[in-house]
């Protein structure tokens, strides 16, 4: 592997020249396309996430990254017919990795547009076909079957970025970053995320089923590689709502909860039966469904939304939305730092959360615990902050 590669540009097209280099060999090779700096920032963060998920859960994993945070993360668990109607993908694309990526991509169909996809295992032909259908800027994986590589190398008229990472590579214990001519150095965040972090249950309710232990771990690992502040809602191995990069935690929670609710509302029977214009592209269909479900559209947005349908459908009432949202399987809710106020718990519960993991350590821990007890929720204090910048 090379020790240095030239990049198309840095964070913006006018920031040239730009390069990626290492004291030894680079831990990846470019199999197709040419990366820019943001591509590599997304890819290297995403690879660490899916690699750690694979190690901790034992399941193939995929992530969809945008601007150095995951828009969605998924494990390779089977999907049902309701899911496939809401997030259509041919069954011939649903290998374990293809399923994991389909789950990751479902979490936020709007934000995943133009993503960097990451896979924990060698990409097979079926997973490549799942990725081929999506608007994506590149991918990273520890390997590619020959047919998969050929499929991906044809994307974007042959310019699609394909990175192959050395799965055995381990970085050193320290990492540095230059900011305004100043070099910052710290120990790499190599703190293990495993079930031992969930032993300190502080609520009256203490039962933590194994599948929710797994979901809390998925959330913790996801946030380890998400721009802070950040929270996540997880269901059945899929991070269905991620709130990243907000200055206040309640804004993170509101954002993530809204995404989780939209993920579930897209599976409402009325939404599944929507008839959109046949000439719409998949992104245009996603935008139309998003518009159908949102209640904050401006008049110009409403005009654009209505054109996606031959006949304007009747939108869901507040009661219909609440009735459907109340049917969601209990979610797991994870925060990368302590919850400073109970409002986060109240909003998470309204979105369907029952299981919570957070570091603890707030001056208002007692109030937050009391809020969980009022709602019958189970909360573990991990004792570990997972900020990422």
Q: Is 67 known to be catalytic?
A: yes
pLDDT recorded at residue 303 = 75
The pLDDT > 90 percentage for the chain reads 86
Catalytic-role residue among 32, 45, 66, 344: 66
Mean pLDDT, rounded, for 167-178 = 93
Residue 309, pLDDT > 90, answer no
Catalytic-role residue among 39, 229, 287, 344: 229
Residue 101, pLDDT > 90, answer yes
| Distance (Å, whole) CA 239 – CA 286 | 19
DSSP code string of 353-388:
EEEEEE----TTHHHHHHHHHHHT-EEEE-------
pLDDT digits (tens, 9 = 90+) for 194-243: 999 999 999 999 999 999 999 999 999 999 999 999 999 999 999 999 99
Instruction: Name the pairing type of β-strands 331-335 and 378-381.
Output: unpaired
| Distance (Å, whole) CA 370 – CA 365 | 9
Q: Is 251 known to be catalytic?
A: no
pLDDT recorded at residue 225 = 97
pLDDT recorded at residue 296 = 80
Q: Is 229 known to be catalytic?
A: yes
pLDDT recorded at residue 297 = 79
> Checking phi first, is residue 325 left (phi over 0); if not, alpha (psi -120 to 50) or beta?
alpha
| Distance (Å, whole) CA 250 – CA 344 | 6
pLDDT digits (tens, 9 = 90+) for 357-378: 999 999 999 999 999 999 999 9
CB distance 302 to 290 below 8 Å: no
| Distance (Å, whole) CA 99 – CA 211 | 18
Query: Structure pTM?
Result: 0.95
Could you give all domains of the chain from N- to C-terminal order, each with its CATH number?
Answer: 4-170 (3.40.140.20), 194-265+325-381 (3.40.140.20), 275-315 (1.10.287)
Q: How confident is the model at residue 299 (pLDDT cuts 50, 70, 90)?
A: confident
CB distance 116 to 95 below 8 Å: no
């Amino acid at each position: 592997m090379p020790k240095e590669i030239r990049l198309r540009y840095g964070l913006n097209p006018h920031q040239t020249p730009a390069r990626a280099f290492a004291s030894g060999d680079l831990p990846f090779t470019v199999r197709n396309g040419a990366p820019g700096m943001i591509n590599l920032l997304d890819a290297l963060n995403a690879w660490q996430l899916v690699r750690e998920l694979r190690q901790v859960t034992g399941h193939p994993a995929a992530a969809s990254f945008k601007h150095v945070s995951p828009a969605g993360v998924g494990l390779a668990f089977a999907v049902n017919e309701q899911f496939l109607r809401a997030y259509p993908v041919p069954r011939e694309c649903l290998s374990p990795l293809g399923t994991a990526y389909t789950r990751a991509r479902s979490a936020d169909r709007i934000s995943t547009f133009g993503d960097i996809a990451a896979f924990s295992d060698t990409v097979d032909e079926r997973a490549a076909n799942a990725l081929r259908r999506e608007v994506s800027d590149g991918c990273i994986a520890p390997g590619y079957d020959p047919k998969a590589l050929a499929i991906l190398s044809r994307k974007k008229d042959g310019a699609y970025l394909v990175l192959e990472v050395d799965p055995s590579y381990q970085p050193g214990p320290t990492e540095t970053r230059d900011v305004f001519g100043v070099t910052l150095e710290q120990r790499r965040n190599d703190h293990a995320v495993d079930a031992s972090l969930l032993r300190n249950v502080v609520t009256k309710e203490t039962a933590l089923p194994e599948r929710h232990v797994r979901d809390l771990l998925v959330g913790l690992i996801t946030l380890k590689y998400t721009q802070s502040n950040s929270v996540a809602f997880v269901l059945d191995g899929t991070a269905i709502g991620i709130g990243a990069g907000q200055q206040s935690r309640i804004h993170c929670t509101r954002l993530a909860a809204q995404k989780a609710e939209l993920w579930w509302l897209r599976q409402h029977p009325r939404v599944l039966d929507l008839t959109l214009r046949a000439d719409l592209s998949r992104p245009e269909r996603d935008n139309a469904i998003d518009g159908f479900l949102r209640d904050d559209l401006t008049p110009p947005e409403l005009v654009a939304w209505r054109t996606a349908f031959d006949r304007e459908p009747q939108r869901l009432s507040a009661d219909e939305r609440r009735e459907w949202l109340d049917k969601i399987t209990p979610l797991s809710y994870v925060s990368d730092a302590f919850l400073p106020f109970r409002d986060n718990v109240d909003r998470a519960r309204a979105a369907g959360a029952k299981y919570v993991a957070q570091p603890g350590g707030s001056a208002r821990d007692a109030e937050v615990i009391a809020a969980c007890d009022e709602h019958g929720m189970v909360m573990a204090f991990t004792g570990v902050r997972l900020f990422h910048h």
